[in-house]
Structure 1
């Protein structure tokens, strides 16, 4: 990743310290970042837009659960831009107060998605009552602050380290190929800049007529650009019309510019959400 910035920078994350968003932020922007905790993705966008943070890490899709569609709309309706991406393997652990064992645990708390990712483990331990919470790391934080015994959280090893807890069952996720893609967001003309790109995220609306989308997709292919992702979201205020979000990858920037020109002339709405270097998987 070719990002230019001066450390330290303030980075908005969804969740509290120890969340997977912080792990992704550290991998992308270094360990000396200052995290700005946001309980919701909307708060994350607002914090970055209002200069409370220099950048943000936003989860956008998961290799098991698919795209986080509300986040596409949040990004489209903001003035933030994508300057990079991170793919992070999600390793879930059962964490609790030091000295606890699996037999001691009667209740497990975590975010609903984390619970779903660990369903096989939880089915093997039916004596553990499962409780949904707002955030993986926040569940760990509450156990640490209240000194709760007999209760555990599902979360990251970083959360266990930060809150002084112990991993009593490591890597309990059912699917070991579970990755989440995070976008690095910043304000235009902000402190972080990317120097090269081979990928872009865009959104557009096609004319509401037969074959309109098919023609656009064919024109993208003829420009020599690879369409790697396509999602449709309802167009608010227009029944049965849609906004399409797409990722484009390219080796030749001029071919990408030709694609942009073609789209801007053939669609009813078009916006570039960011040009950046494609990320690689982090283990």
Structure 2
């Protein structure tokens, strides 16, 4: 089995892969675009991609990528995120002039860096990759924001630990596959729909879901790329049985202009 992840060994995606599948073969991808294409082309059996963070919010473009490549969400996983500031040994915070990391990681640590105005923040492709390059190229005066595992893997010193804004920081990851399958105990679904243009159309959809005892745990508007300033909605629905969800699809199907199921899967409790 091969799992596609965004980033390299030591990344948070790698941690999720190990939690779900153990010491599995990895396909390391530089971007989420590369990840979904790899799964769509069957270069990997499955993919793991971040979809949102409790501090930074949803990664909306990833929903579009899943839809465009015709992938299906078959699972989810919440990972507690603890960001560490790391650099080559023999350095302290006063020696650091530049910090490199993934933009989402830097965003989650903004308050920490406001206290260190001398540090320049540089966005890179991956947390662990930033740590790897510092170690490989022996960059002094440069630090990375990444996981404890990345520091251990690449032999870096943790200068400051748990520098994220909120200590209870978590990222939601989804498992994506090329084809859908029946998931034992499935109790959650992610849908993408476009509401009608009539006044109150979205309200009717939400009321219908509530009447069917389906919990709407998340709803968010997503830009329709080919139609500027028009939006569809991504929603996470929680239910007790798949048959309950199937009924909901029929009920709201007559209220929407379009409806696509991005995945039916078993929820993960943080």
Does TM, normalized by the shorter one, top 0.5?
A: yes
CA contact (8 A) 2:101 2:125 kept: yes
Cα separation, 2, equivalents of 1:11 and 1:258: 34
Return the match for 1:157 from 120, 130, 148. Answer: 148
3-state secondary structure, aligned to 1:194: coil
Q: Deviations over 1:111-170 (max 9, x none)?
A: 233223223332333443333323211111111111222321111112112212222221
Return the match for 2:199 from 202, 210, 216. Answer: 210
Once the two structures are superposed, the pairs formed by residues 6-21 of structure 1 within 5 Å of their partners are 9-21=1-13
Pair 1:232-2:224 in alignment: no
Return the match for 2:106 from 111, 115, 138. Answer: 115
C-alpha distance 259-105 of structure 1, shift in aligned 2 (>3 A) = same
Q: Deviations over 1:155-208 (max 9, x none)?
A: 111211221222222111121122111101111168xx6322111111111222
3-state secondary structure, aligned to 2:28: strand
1:246 Cα deviation from its structure 2 partner: 0.7
Decide which moves more: 235-244 or 180-189: 235-244
Cα separation, 2, equivalents of 1:239 and 1:93: 39
1:236 Cα deviation from its structure 2 partner: 4.1
Pair 1:199-2:191 in alignment: no
| Alignment partner, residue 39 of structure 2 | 48
3-state secondary structure, aligned to 1:174: coil
| Alignment partner, residue 251 of structure 1 | 240
1:51 Cα deviation from its structure 2 partner: 0.9
3-state secondary structure, aligned to 1:113: helix
Pair 1:24-2:16 in alignment: yes
Q: What is the Cα-based RMSD across aligned positions, in Å?
A: 1.9
1:106 Cα deviation from its structure 2 partner: 3.1
3-state secondary structure, aligned to 1:279: coil
CA contact (8 A) 1:208 1:241 kept: no
TM-score by length of 2: 0.92
C-alpha distance 235-146 of structure 1, shift in aligned 2 (>3 A) = closer
1:107 Cα deviation from its structure 2 partner: 2.6
TM-score by length of 1: 0.88
C-alpha distance 210-128 of structure 1, shift in aligned 2 (>3 A) = closer
Pair 1:266-2:255 in alignment: yes
| Alignment partner, residue 169 of structure 1 | 160
3-state secondary structure, aligned to 1:268: strand
| Alignment partner, residue 85 of structure 1 | 76
Q: Deviations over 1:37-85 (max 9, x none)?
A: 1111111100111111111111111111211111111112222111110
Decide which moves more: 215-224 or 125-134: 125-134
